[in-house]
Amino acid sequence: MKLAELFDIEAMDLEMPSMLKDETLHYLASRFNQVGGVSDVEGYVERLQARENQSTTGIGDEIAIPHAQHPSIVKPAIVFGRNKEGIDWQSFDDQPAKLIFMIAAPEGGGGEHLQALASLSSVLMNPEAKERLLNAQTPEEVFNTISEFDKKDEPEEEAITNVSTNSGDEYVLAVTACPTGIAHTYMAEEKLKQAGEALGVPIKVETNGQSGVGNRLTKEDIEKATAIIVAADKQVEMARFDGKPVMITKVADGINKAEELVTRAKEGNAPIYHASREGHSLEETESSDNESLGRQIYKHLMNGVSHMLPFVVAGGILIAVSFFWGINSSDPTHAEYNPIAQALNTMGNISFAMMLPMLAGYIGQSLADRMGLVLGVAGGLFANPSILSAFNTEAGVFEGASSSGFLGALVAGFLAGGIVWLLRKAFSWMPKSLEGMKTIFLFPVLGIALMGFIMLFIINGPMGAVMNGLINLINSIPREASILLGFVVGAMMSIDMGGPINKAAYVTGTALVTQASGAGSDVMASVMVGGMVPPLAIALSATLNRNLYPAAQHSSALVNYVLGAAFITEGAIPFAAINPLKMIPSMAIGAGVAGALSMYFGCVSYVPHGGIFAVLANGVTNPLMYILSWLIGGLVGAVLLLWLLNPKKMKQAEEAL
């Protein structure tokens, strides 16, 4: 089916009134309903909004392409609307959207909407096509413009490879890829092709899109290429470019700096790419001259955080459900023992125990592939030796070993990459025939041993000393200054969220509960409510401003309502990593306020965990004031986050990365 045939002329509106984005989606869906294209308008709009929550469909250059599937859609279609003043679409370039193309597809009907996105993105990259759409007087003019500029029926090789007889021996290759693999992948493709044509340079562009790899580069292409442009925001196959000049940059540069990139590639002005023996990683970053060190670190960190997050969410929810069900004792002989609650609590704690190994492991994997994953997982375990108690290994050097927590796991992840690099250098003299022995025997054995000794004797020790110092600091605050004490311990729970500072406050509160012999502890109450604030602040701020965080994390942010209620502070960690210098102080102040209010209201906790579920089980005195303290602290943290995190700057920072 040709692209123009998807446009519903009767549903078009070339004089669409100005309105908000969500209202625009509803308006276009209603027009589609009027021509019999969709029966469930509200359901379809919900799908469109859900897609917007993942990431904006405002692709920039005054264009938006909202899209979604729904079972009530009769057949694939594109509904076009135009507003000459522009509608705020939170586009990547902050320009309002004047041309809006709503793509609708039946659920389970295949990839029609993705194919339409790819074709439409290519057409809209043509300045003449865009200008004609802006000035079209009738729906028929829109249809004719799309028909004229759609090159879908041309042979793929002709559409993607431009050849100039005056270009000499230059031959440029490019690879485009974006996280969603839809619009920006093909926009970059089109811009690079246009630049190649303008400069008289033959260019072939491989797209790593949602539906797979298109126009794949062949071995012959790579051999004769002058240089290769990799404009990608996700990992693509790189080992094949070993020994060739390669420019690695973000996909946005493929759109906005296409001519500059092609010019450099034509001249061979690019660093030589050297693939590691596992086909990826440390050497790749050396050729990435367009990537700042901060961007490289961020990409590795986010790889760890994205793999860690499901364990945090699953563990937190399971533990929360266990408290709701009635986890009163883990002793089967106890009168209040509940086997279902105990099983859920155990599963939740096991999931949580995997959090640090996954964080460190996938940071290591991003740096050094499979071997980095192996060493990183081991480092994450060594960062919290108490996990090893399940294997009865706390004897000897593990007995009483300090935990370095979240911060130690971060160090372990990057340390894994460094150890793999060191081992590769140290054993580079070995013949290739023994390559298998390195990855199966030498690297795992020596790497884990190195990781263990470094973590246990270098990293964990100082962190343990820091934690002991913080415990002593808490104990040194006079009891007369109870409100100050409540603020301090509450804020400490929010500074590193599961790390040594957090654990110092928690261990102190737990020790005081134990020493009280059933009388409870006001410090424990402040500690617990302080730890409940960061997730609540994240969830509230995401609710009040849905554009505050990267769109892909919006749904995860809302899960923090439950995690905060269950005293699962770690739920805020993935979000704190976005901008720690602004987010951690905001959450710490909110947590400190909650801790101070809890102390002021005289709240006492008889239990060391449980959050709101402990309150409901009469585990905390003065429950109404305790809940109020939590809500006020969460609101303070959320307001500070909204104030300090400018959504526009956050979006620009996400784009730059």
What is the set of active-site residues? 67, 178
Exposed / middle / buried, residue 621 (Cβ in 10 Å: 0-12, 13-18, 19+): middle
- For helices 623-644 and 580-600, the axis angle rounded to 10 degrees is 160
DSSP letter for each residue of 523-556: HHHHHHHHHHHHHHHHHHHHHH-TTSS-GGGHHH
Where helices occur in 388-499 by DSSP H, the ranges are 405-426, 435-437, 443-454, 460-476, 482-495
- CA-based torsion, 359, 363, 369, 372: positive or negative: negative
CB of 577 within 8 A of CB of 312? no
Sequence-separated (6 or more) residues with CB below 8 Å from residue 121 = 59, 65, 182, 183, 184, 186, 187, 190
* Residues pairing with 231 in the sheet: 176, 249
CB of 130 within 8 A of CB of 65? no
Supply φ then ψ for residue 292, to 5 degrees.
Answer: -70, 160
- CA-based torsion, 355, 280, 212, 78: positive or negative: positive
DSSP annotation of 269 reads: -
Question: What is the C-alpha to C-alpha distance for residues 584 and 577, in angstroms, rounded to an integer?
Answer: 9
DSSP annotation of 476 reads: H
Residue type, 457: F
Question: What is the C-alpha to C-alpha distance for residues 387 and 382, in angstroms, rounded to an integer?
Answer: 8
Question: What is the C-alpha to C-alpha distance for residues 511 and 157, in angstroms, rounded to an integer?
Answer: 71
Question: What is the C-alpha to C-alpha distance for residues 457 and 401, in angstroms, rounded to an integer?
Answer: 9
CB of 367 within 8 A of CB of 281? yes
DSSP annotation of 171 reads: -
Both tokens of 123, joined, read 């057409």
Question: What is the C-alpha to C-alpha distance for residues 533 and 587, in angstroms, rounded to an integer?
Answer: 7
Which of 66, 72, 73 has its CA nearest to residue 105? Answer: 73
- CA-based torsion, 111, 116, 117, 121: positive or negative: positive
* Residues pairing with 103 in the sheet: 67, 78
CB of 245 within 8 A of CB of 172? no
In Å, how far are 35, 44, 153, 468, 482 from 9, measured between CA atoms? 10, 20, 22, 71, 70
CB of 603 within 8 A of CB of 625? yes
Characterize 249-266 residue by residue with b for buried, 16 or more Cβ atoms within 10 angstroms of its Cβ, and e for exposed.
bbbbbbbbbbeebbebbb
CB of 84 within 8 A of CB of 98? yes
